[in-house]
Amino acid sequence: MTSLHDVPSEVVELDAVHSAPPPGARDEQVSDDADGYRLPPGVRLIRSNLGLFVTPLIVIAGIIALRVYYNSADKIFQDERALDWERNLRPQLEEHLGITLWATVFTIVIAVPLGILLTRPRYRRFGSPVLAVATSGQAIPAFGLLVLAFAWLGRGPWTTIWALALFTMLPVLRNTMVGLEQVDRNVIEAGRGMGLTKRQVLRRIELPLAIPVILAGVRTALVITVGMAALAFLIGGGGLGETISAGLKLSRDLVLITGAVMTALVALSVDWIAALAEKTLRPKGL
Amino acid sequence: MTELQTAPTATDTPGAMIELHGVGKIYPGSSVPAVADLDLAIPEGEILVLVGPSGCGKSTTLRLINRMIEPTSGRIVFDGEDVTAVNPDHLRRRIGYVIQQIGLFPHQTIAENIGTVPRLVGWDKARIAARVDELLDLTGLDPVQFRDRYPKELSGGQAQRVGVARALAADPPVLLMDEPFGAIDPITRDRLQNEFLRLQGDLKKTIVFVTHDIDEAIKMGDRIAILGEQSVIRQYDTPERILAYPVDEFVSDFIGAGSTLKGLNFERVRDLELISDFPVVDVDTARDEAQRRFDASPEKWMLVLDSVGRPHRWVNAGHLADASHPLAEVGAAVNSTVMPNATLHDALEEMLLSNAGCAVVVDERNRYQGVLDIEVLADVLKQLRQQAKKHYDDLAQLDAVDQEAQLQDAEPQ
Ligand SMILES: Nc1ncnc2c1ncn2[C@@H]1O[C@H](COP(=O)(O)OP(=O)(O)OP(=O)(O)O)[C@@H](O)[C@H]1O
Ligand SMILES: [Mg+2]
């Protein structure tokens, strides 16, 4: 499966960073007598997850700044209308999140099983061609894909969802395949040698060991999706893109900036949740 | 055993736990077989070592036994049952398997790793937990300290012990080990080997042990099969006999120089006849009497025993001539001796170190029993070689008789 690694990929490189143990993890590699310098678990948790505390602070600061900015700005009638929480912002936020969530769910539901299938001995030979197709597919600009989907499926959020699911298939598929392929052959050999069936080896050994890499792919997909959901309004999919577009149309900075900042804050939050999931779902002992 | 006539097995083989009948393996895309038509009987309760040069098919042979690799031809019989076509997953749960790279599951604790097969075969939690602790104890790891660790928190030697414990978990009658101590530093390896031999002394498992290291084979094996290309058996016998009588150049090349010396490790001092007419005197013997005895013997040294019969001094003609000191003070001190359970290898070392070129044998209370010299060793080695050769000549004769009988059987058709 060397061809897998030949595919130039920012995602796989990203994984190398992600799968490197976090700084605190080194502390856990203790020898018999090293228990003495083990830090209390609470301190270790915080120290090794320092990054995870930064994002919420930024998001909260962003929300406060936005409110302050909104309250202090001169507002005209259109501003008030466009930025009405109940009428516009809240439904758009929900659509935005909905699109992101469903697109990611579909991506996972399709790409992970496909990745598993393409790493089984029977179908392994299809792995490279499928990846090649997926890679060239990603070369289509997102906007183009949305328009194509629109032409095919018509207006509406579901069109956006399917288009985005398709668009973010690649990182999840590729990381699933890489994640499964990088599992130590000896571990699989030992498992099979003890009488685990192929399915048991997959479920109990290969998948848990591939989880960090798969999750890194899912996180990449999420980040792409949440960003691109801002384009959903183009084909009637809603989302916070509506507010940005209204700001542009009205030439109102307040509306434009509110839309843009909210999009950014949502993206940050989603990425943070993904990072949290990556941390907590990573099997212990790795 | 009649089906296994072609296998050069020793005649005193105990009942076979596993039998390979004409087993062969040709890997897809390869024209030459990795294992060609192998007949092998694996004796119950013993360690059989498969040893041979790299790439000769040892691992393939081992993996054929638990059907990690499906044979292209032949039959495999496990404990009297033909397992060539049974569900391989179920077969493997009855066979422990240890590989050089160990392959512990990194995301599972040591306890979970060891409990793998018991879980598979449906033991309850309490029984598994008890078994895990028992096995950790057995392999020299403190259960309290190790059961909740993850594999990355172990040293190489500890990990290998866990690997062995995991293979033993559901108490399989058979253990397959592929260079289990290969990737470990020599000192730890030596310790693990000794511990494992001690363990096997109690467990009496049927073990197939693969190595490419002849010294490990000699140390670990009750029997050794020396394999050539395509896993062809070049010699199958006890380590003693292989060392005493390598059947051909391939085997003697593989054993390498010093096989005779290695063979000395298997013989014990107590099995030899000690030199009885070596000149010995008590410490309070009169000087002229001592001189008389020395002159009567062809030896260049004489041993002086202390009042309770323990070896005390070595004296030669020069020492005896010095009348200014009592017998107890002339000559050289006897600083090392061997006990009857020492190996001839130990005895040889003593001989080389002692002034007189002799190893002094004493009993548990250090009392003089006799001496050994290099000639005795040479005789022993010659005898061993002759015995082994006779054994092989007898085998060849048996074979010839068998073949004749077969020919006669075949005649009427
Ligand atoms: N999966 C495989 N596919 C094709 N050929 C193989 C495979 N595994 C082993 N072989 C070939 O079969 C032969 C025997 O290999 P095997 O691994 O059994 O050797 P070995 O005696 O264990 O060697 P070593 O001491 O180096 O481990 C070698 O020539 C090897 O190249
Ligand atoms: Mg091998």
**ipTM here:** 0.79
CA distances from B194 to A18, B139, B187, B190, B332 (A): 42, 11, 11, 6, 37
On whether the CB atoms of residues B166 and B176 are closer than 8 A, the answer is: no
pLDDT for position B412: 56
Could you tell me if residue A237 is inside a domain? yes
Lowest mean per-residue pLDDT among A11-20, A43-52, A230-239, B302-311: A11-20
Is residue A157 a part of any domain in this protein? Answer: yes
Q: Name which residue leads in pLDDT, A222 or A140.
A: A222
- Contact A186/B at CB under 8 A: yes
Residues with Cβ within 8 Å of B251's Cβ and at least 6 positions away in sequence, in order, are B226, B234, B235, B242
Mean pLDDT of chain A: 85
- Residue B262 to residue B277: CA distance in whole angstroms: 29
Residues 6 or more apart whose CB falls under 8 angstroms from that of B232 comprise B36, B38
CA distance linking residue A11 with residue A213, whole number of Å: 10
Residue A2 confidence (pLDDT) above 80: no
Helix axes B344-353, B374-410, angle to 10 degrees: 150
Ligand in closest contact with the CA of B30: 1
Res A147 pLDDT > 90: no
Ligand nearest to the CA of B231: 1
Instruction: Please check whether residue B263 is in contact with residue B240, taking contact to mean a CB–CB distance below 8 angstroms.
Output: yes
B4 or A155: which leads in pLDDT = A155
* Whole-number Å distance between alpha carbons of B234 and B8: 9
Amino acid at A76: I
A49 in any annotated domain: no
pLDDT tier for residue A94 given thresholds of 50, 70 and 90: very high
Q: What is the mean pLDDT of residues A57-63?
A: 95
Report the distance separating Cα B54 and Cα A264, nearest Å.
Answer: 60
A121 part of contact set with chain B, CB < 8 Å: no
Could you tell me if residue A65 is inside a domain? no
Counting from 1 in the atom list of ligand 1, the atom nearest the Cα of B61 is 18
Report d(CA A133, CA A88) in Å as an integer: 39
Radius of gyration of chain B (CA): 27
Q: Provide the sign of the torsion angle of the four alpha carbons B185, B190, B192, B196, taken in this order.
A: positive
Residue A168 lies in a domain: yes
Task: Find the range with the poorest average confidence among A43-52, A73-82, B92-101, B399-408.
Answer: A43-52
- Token duo for residue B205: 């498992």
Return the residue whose CA atom lies nearest to atom 5 of ligand 1.
Answer: B27
Over residues A188-238, the pLDDT tens digits come to: 999 999 999 999 999 999 999 999 999 999 999 999 999 999 999 988 888
> Could you tell me the CATH number of the domain that includes residue A110?
1.10.3720.10
Which mean pLDDT values do the consecutive 10-residue runs of chain B (413 residues) have? 40 74 95 94 95 95 95 94 94 94 96 96 96 95 96 94 96 96 89 94 95 93 96 94 91 86 86 87 88 90 91 90 84 88 90 87 91 89 89 88 80 56
User: In this model, does residue A14 exceed pLDDT 60?
Assistant: no
B122 class by beta-carbon count within 10 Å (0-12 exposed, 13-18 middle, 19+ buried): exposed
Question: Tokens representing B315?
Answer: 């004296």
CB A220 within 8 A of CB A14: yes
Residue with tokens 């414990």: B165
Beta strands, E only, A44-169:
none
Q: What is the pLDDT of residue A67?
A: 94
Quote the pLDDT of residue B13. Answer: 54
Nearest CA-CA partner of B248 in B237, B20, B39, B262: B237
Separation of A57 CA from ligand 2 center, angstroms? 56
What pLDDT is attached to residue A38?
Answer: 60
Quote the pLDDT of residue B411: 62
Instruction: Determine contact: A194 vs chain B, CB below 8 A.
Output: yes
Split at pLDDT 50, 70, 90, the class of A137 is confident
Residue B207: helix, strand or coil by DSSP?
Answer: strand
Which burial class, exposed, middle or buried, applies to A156 when counting CB atoms under 10 A from its CB (0-12, 13-18, 19+)? middle
B54 alpha carbon, closest ligand: 1
Residue A32 lies in a domain: no
- Do β-strands B95-99 and B174-178 pair in parallel, antiparallel, or remain unpaired? parallel
CB B353 within 8 A of CB B297: no
State the pLDDT at residue B198: 94
8 Å CB contact of A194 and B102: no
Do B116 and A196 count as a contact with CB atoms less than 8 A apart? Answer: yes
Residue of B nearest to A285 (CA): B107
Q: Residue A207 Cα, ligand 2 centroid: separation in angstroms? A: 28
Please check whether residue A35 lies inside any domain of the structure.
no
Using the Cβ of A72 and the Cβ atoms of chain B, whether some distance falls under 8 Å is answered with: no
Q: What is the pLDDT of residue B325?
A: 84
B280, β-bridge pairs: B303
- Is the minimum distance from the CB of B56 to ligand 1 under 6 angstroms? yes
The whole-number pLDDT of residue B64 equals 95
Give me the pLDDT at residue A35, please. Answer: 44
Which residues, other chains included, contact A158 with Cβ-Cβ below 8 Å and sequence gap of 6+? none
Identify the domain containing residue A89 by its residue range.
76-281
Ligand 1 in contact with B59 (CB < 6 A)? yes
Number of domains composing chain A = 1
Compute the 3-state secondary structure of chain A and give helix, strand, coil in percent, each to the nearest 5: 80, 0, 20
Residue A8 lies in a domain: no
Cα dihedral sign for A24, A26, A29, A34? negative
